[in-house]
Amino acid sequence: MAKYVLYRLGDAIPTLFLVLTLVFIAMRILPGDPALAALGPMADPVQLALFRERMGLNEPLPLQYIYFLWDAIRLDFGRSFISDVPVADLIARNLPHTIYLTIVSVLMGLCLGIPFGVFAATRRNRPPDNALRIYSLIGYSIPDFYLAAILLIVFSLQLGWFPINGAGTGFWDGLHHILLPAMTLAMLKSAFMGRLTRTSVLEVLGRDYVRTARAKGAREGRVIYRHGLRNAMLPLSTGIGISILATLSGSVAVELVFNRPGIGRLLIDAISERDYPVIQAGVMMFAFFVILVNLVMDVVYVFVDPRIRMKS
Amino acid sequence: MTDLRMEETSPEDLAQREVLAAEPGRFDTVRRALFERPSTCIALAVVILFVIVAIFAPLIAPYDPLRQSILQINKLPSWEHWLGTDQFGRDVLSRMIHGSRNSLIFGLLSPVFAACIGTILGVSAGYFGGWIDRVISRVVDMLMAFPELLLAILVAAALGGSFWNIVVVLTAAFTPGFARVSRASTLAIKQEPYVEAAIAAGVRTPVIIFRHIVPNIMAPIVVLMALWSASSIRIEATLSFLGIGTQPPNPSWGNIIRDGLNAMFTTQWPIVAGGLAITIVVLSISIIGDSIRDVLDPETSQ
């Protein structure tokens, strides 16, 4: 087990390295002069030269690359061009909000999607199954920011049930603020999870051991939950991983619509202000999360299905 | 396939015949997929309607989508402006009609580019194997770990938004998928007797690849193109909404919603109209893509 985790960890490091390299190429080589971008076209040449000297932009590229990697390893992302606050502080301030949103929306999505999927699978080609098909087709097609805007207009603006923006203070106020944004992501997630649950439960229900369970007289509820859903958990755990990753990209738009603090919001604000250190750190944070979630999911599979360990 | 006697004709002819024989059947099945189900017919009609609107946008739009008017700010729908106006007094309906061009063109361009690059990479990896396969598969696996939308946001964040940057962003996001699928199909096709026969007969490698392998892996590629055409319209809308896609003042359904959010307290029509257009088009293309998939590779459909 420990060997497998170490092996997967060793696999994740080159990926992280590749991402850092791509970020370096994109930020330092492609868009022209970072000094000009930071200080604006009106900056005088002396300031520009000082800035280049301070940021190490006069060094040869390979040396810049090594400095860049060294800073990234020490989690030193520099200071924001705009607010002069250390980027690490900005991330520490915004990250908990995105993690909170991810956890709440994934839990809500699972609580909606899995029962819906089981319900549809046990009533194949009947109205509940068709309802799920339409729900998941719309869930796939509707953009997250549009759904967010519609929920905001209906429930906050028209009905006044939820606050319009911000993250709130304290637990209950925070929960009140997060319900609508989390619901947006949860609806999209449940469309995907419902479809996946339906397919995997249907597949399992066709197996021999389910027929045996029925033949020996087990109650239908026990057959479906004990034999059906439990064995459908492996594809479902893949789905949970995918929906956590989808939340990361979904959070960018949802944080913007609901005006919530978070990593996505930080990144988007930084892009509009051309705040390169923050953009760079934001991109690296997202990439790091994707790699982390994939790593954790791979380890989780082994717990759910020990047969995978045998293969590696 | 295996019962064909190879000594009678050259392997190249055989493979040629195989492809030609498959071709009419394939078109037939695609036609069946598109016209048999009522839902697919409606979806097709909707997509054609939107494409016509996009092509003839300047003739259909009642106003110049960029013309501002300080007297007509954030107006509700009226007979002059069917969907009202935005915060610069621009006609929302005209912006929607012109925006359909910016939204739809990416649904056409990026799957085509991604399919070309992805197929070249995937076929090379599958056909040549060795270190080429290891390098390509490794990079593809890494990129596949990222959800397409997140990859698009990250690349757009680094590059900034302009027409060709969005094309690059979407192509980069979709290429790994095409590479993976075409590599897997190439590995399967390479085992077929007609390819082995062609190799044994000394047919040149480019001929084998373009005449024997590429035509036979087209089915899954076409399915992916249809499905990702829908995705790229959705992703372009998201990027434009985030301010890193189509740049203002040029209209796109995504940035119409972005502008609409600022005027949310006065008029909600731009948000509703922009979002409905995106949802309907993406939904229709998805339905068409699903139908094509159902007939072209029945194993993967549920």
Please check whether residue B1 touches A, CB under 8 A.
no
pLDDT at A147: 92
In chain B, which residue's Cα lies nearest the Cα of A142? B279
Please check whether residue A23 touches B, CB under 8 A.
yes
Residue percentage of chain A with pLDDT more than 70: 93
Distance separating alpha carbons of residues B111 and A244, to the nearest angstrom? 26
Does residue A47 carry a pLDDT above 80? no
B261/A142 CB distance under 8 A = no
Please check whether residue A12 touches B, CB under 8 A.
no
- B contacts of A19 (beta carbons < 8 Å): 142
B147/A157 CB distance under 8 A = no
Q: What is the ipTM of this complex?
A: 0.80
- Sequence-distant contacts of A69-74: CB under 8 A, at least 24 apart: A69/A20, A69/A24, A72/A20, A72/A284
Please check whether residue A17 touches B, CB under 8 A.
no
From the list B139, B155, B279, the residue facing A146 with the nearest CB is B279
Q: Is B204 exposed, middle or buried (0-12, 13-18, 19+ CB in 10 A)?
A: exposed
In chain B, which residue's Cα lies nearest the Cα of A245? B147
Distance separating alpha carbons of residues A140 and A135, to the nearest angstrom? 9
Q: How many CB atoms lie within 10 A of CB A263?
A: 25
Helix (H, G, I), strand (E, B) or coil at A79: strand
| Highest mean pLDDT (candidates A90-94, A240-244, B78-82) | A90-94
Count Cβ–Cβ pairs < 8 Å, chain A vs chain B: 119
Per-residue tokens: A252? 């960018």
Closest CA of chain B from A53, distance in Å: 23
Please check whether residue A268 touches B, CB under 8 A.
yes
Distance separating alpha carbons of residues B6 and A300, to the nearest angstrom? 51
Residue of B241, B267, B283, B284 for testing the chain A interface, max A β-carbons within 10 Å: B241
A145/B238 CB distance under 8 A = yes
From the list B242, B265, B274, the residue facing A252 with the nearest CB is B242
Please check whether residue B268 touches A, CB under 8 A.
yes
Helix H or strand E encompassing B149? helix B148-159
B271/A149 CB distance under 8 A = yes
pTM comes to 0.81
| Highest mean pLDDT (candidates A7-21, A136-150, A207-221) | A136-150
Instruction: Look up the CATH number of domain B27-57+89-301.
Output: 1.10.3720.10
- B contacts of A250 (beta carbons < 8 Å): 149
Does residue A132 carry a pLDDT above 60? yes
Surface of B (202-231) touching A: CB under 8 A: 230
- A contacts of B242 (beta carbons < 8 Å): 145, 252-253, 256, 268, 271
Tell me which residue has tokens 């939904």.
B283
A283/B154 CB distance under 8 A = yes
Distance separating alpha carbons of residues A147 and A250, to the nearest angstrom? 11
Cβ–Cβ under 8 Å, residues A112 and A195? no
- B contacts of A291 (beta carbons < 8 Å): 145
Please check whether residue B233 touches A, CB under 8 A.
no
Distance separating alpha carbons of residues A75 and B160, to the nearest angstrom? 25
Residue percentage of chain A with pLDDT more than 90: 6
pLDDT at B10: 40
From the list A19, A31, A157, the residue facing B264 with the nearest CB is A157
B238/A143 CB distance under 8 A = yes
Distance separating alpha carbons of residues B230 and B164, to the nearest angstrom? 19
Q: Residues 6 or more apart from B161 whose CB is under 8 A from it?
A: B239, B240, B243, B244, B245, B246, B247
A283/B157 CB distance under 8 A = yes
B278/A15 CB distance under 8 A = no
From the list B145, B159, B286, the residue facing A291 with the nearest CB is B145
- B contacts of A252 (beta carbons < 8 Å): 153, 242
In chain A, which residue's Cα lies nearest the Cα of B267? A153
Average pLDDT on A63-78 reads 82
Alpha-carbon radius of gyration of chain B: 23
Q: Residues 6 or more apart from A292 whose CB is under 8 A from it?
A: none
User: Could you report the per-residue pLDDT of A258-293, keeping only the tens digit for each?
Assistant: 888 898 888 888 887 777 788 888 888 888 888 888
Please check whether residue B147 touches A, CB under 8 A.
yes
pLDDT at B2: 34
Residue of A30, A260, A271, A286 for testing the chain B interface, max B β-carbons within 10 Å: A271
Does residue A35 carry a pLDDT above 60? yes
B261/A287 CB distance under 8 A = no
DSSP class per residue in B31-44? HHHHHSSHHHHHHH
A245/B146 CB distance under 8 A = yes
Cβ–Cβ under 8 Å, residues B223 and B292? yes
Q: How far is CA A153 from CA A116, A138, B144, B236, in A?
A: 27, 19, 35, 23
Q: Is A281 exposed, middle or buried (0-12, 13-18, 19+ CB in 10 A)?
A: buried
- Sequence-distant contacts of B47-54: CB under 8 A, at least 24 apart: B47/B281, B47/B284, B47/B285, B47/B288, B50/B100, B50/B104, B50/B277, B50/B281, B51/B104, B53/B97, B53/B100, B54/B100, B54/B101, B54/B104, B54/B105
Query: Torsion over CA of B275, B281, B287 and B291, rounded to 10 degrees?
Result: -160
pLDDT at A67: 83
Domains of chain A: 2-73 (no CATH), 91-311 (1.10.3720.10)
Please check whether residue A134 touches B, CB under 8 A.
no
Please check whether residue B172 touches A, CB under 8 A.
no
Distance separating alpha carbons of residues A155 and A160, to the nearest angstrom? 6
Does residue A164 carry a pLDDT above 70? yes
Segments making up each domain of chain B, as ranges: 27-57+89-301
Residue type, B33: A
Average pLDDT on A127-133 reads 87
List, for chain B, all residue ranges whose pLDDT scores fall below the cut of 50: 1-24, 301-302
pLDDT at B267: 82
Residue A217 DSSP label: T
B264/A294 CB distance under 8 A = no
User: Could you report the per-residue pLDDT of B5-41, keeping only the tens digit for each?
Assistant: 333 344 344 344 444 444 445 566 667 767 777 888 8
In chain B, which residue's Cα lies nearest the Cα of A259? B261
- B contacts of A272 (beta carbons < 8 Å): 243
pLDDT at A38: 66
A221-230, A236-245, B4-13, B28-37: lowest mean pLDDT where?
B4-13
